[in-house]
Copies of this chain bind each other. A is one copy, B any other.
Amino acid sequence: MAEQPVKRVTDIGPPHYEKFLHPLIKKNYGNWKFHESMAPGVFFHESESGDRIYTVRAGTPRLLSTQTIRAFADLAKKYCGGYLRFTSRHNVEFLLDNPDNIEPLKADLTKIGFPVGGTNNSISNIVHTQGWVHCHSSATDASGIVKAVMDALYDRFTHEDLPAKLRIALACCLNMCGAVHCSDIAILGVHRKPPRVQHDSLHKVCEIPNVVASCPTGAIRPATTEDGKKTVEVVEEQCMFCGNCFSVCPAMQLNDPENDGISIWVGGKVSDARSQPTFSKLAIPFIPNEPPRWPGVVNAVVNIVDVYAKNAKKYERMGEWIARIGWPKFFELTGIPFTKYHIDDFRFAGTTFARSAQIRL
């Protein structure tokens, strides 16, 4: 371990969670018997001892001011002894021992603008990433699209009337920080132009061999400028805009106002319930960036959600529904055009070809 000044505290790790557990949770830790949902965003867990812990879940924009965090803290103080948590999808959960506090808490939450819901067969919060708020790689914004889409899907968050869970995630570039690759609906920022090499600066900021090595398709070659500077050149036809060269070298600019945009992917899931985890598959290769409210993306997502809601059977996740009706039917029902871009031509291409004469005719 590196030298540290004496007084400086390091490597203490996170505080122990026990400090933050509701006494009733501590008491019944590991002894929960079953749960029951009471309303969208509200459910309770009952323990072997008969104790009940009530949960009220509210949606958040994930990007929170300290004021809002303090507001949540105040509500927790007011209604549940100051015990709350956040979920793996950026929702906040208040943990109550007294069911009488549920309605007042819901009322207060609604008053300050945070919707209660996101449970069971609803659309929960959108897992997302930084976008233009903080990241240099982003092919699109994150928070703005999430806001626009969730405005349109608001009732799907506060109601539980879908055939099954529907999980949406957004990532603003192919790095996929939102880990969107296994979502019922994935919103993914994409570039469509090869990197513009900054010949003057490249040799200063990057190791040429690393830049060349960074390209999965071998599109990058060492080169020299007229004035003899070491640099690289990109074989444009070989570039599929993954952005890896930019990740390793700032002099490989990819951002492009006109050609950056969004792709939509569907049918992925993570849970092993019924069917095994699967990747999301390409539905729409490209929708332009339309700030501030991305109507193209919003309509595309709403359309897919509505068609799914109308056609899927109970307990069928998006991908399970499509597996049953077949992809041709999915494209027909959603009206999304199928293009050559939908056909895999990467590493495992061929394994996804229709290698069978089983066809609906």
CA of A347 to CA of B357, assembled, Å: 25
Q: Which of A239-279 contact B (CB under 8 A)?
A: 272, 276-277
In the assembled complex, A29 has its CB within 8 A of some CB on chain B: no
Question: Chain A, 275-291, contact with B by CB distance < 8 Å: what is the 0/1 string?
Answer: 01100000000000000
Q: Does A356 contact B (CB under 8 A)?
A: yes
Q: How many copies does the complex hold?
A: 2
**Alpha-carbon distance between A348 and B347 when the two chains are bound, in angstroms:** 8
Residue-wise, chain A 330-361 has the 8 Å CB interface mask toward B (1 for contact) of: 00000000000000000110010001111000
Rounded to whole Å, the gap between the CB of A277 and the closest CB of chain B is 6
Q: How far is the CA of A357 from the CA of B351 in the complex (A)?
A: 22
In the bound complex, residues from chain B placing their C-beta under 8 Å from that of A358 are 272, 276
Chain B nearest CB from A180 CB (Å) reads 17
User: For the complex, what is the distance from the CA of A347 to the CA of B348, rounded to whole Å?
Assistant: 8
How far is it, in angstroms, between the C-alpha of A348 and the C-alpha of B277 when the chains are bound?
A: 18
How close is A215's CB to chain B, nearest CB, in angstroms? 20
Contacts of A357 in B (CB 8 A): 272
**Shortest Cβ distance from A345 into chain B, in angstroms?**
14
Contacts of A276 in B (CB 8 A): 355-356, 358
Residues of B within 8 A of A355 (CB): 276-277
> Can you name 7 A-B pairs with beta carbons within 8 Å?
A272-B356, A276-B355, A276-B356, A277-B355, A277-B356, A347-B347, A348-B351
* Top 8 closest pairs, chain A to chain B, by CB: A276-B356, A272-B357, A272-B358, A272-B356, A348-B348, A277-B356, A276-B358, A348-B351
List chain A positions with a Cβ less than 8 A from chain B.
272, 276-277, 347-348, 351, 355-358
Q: A272-B357, A277-B356 are in contact. List 6 more A-B contacts (CB 8 A).
A: A276-B356, A276-B358, A347-B347, A348-B348, A348-B351, A351-B351
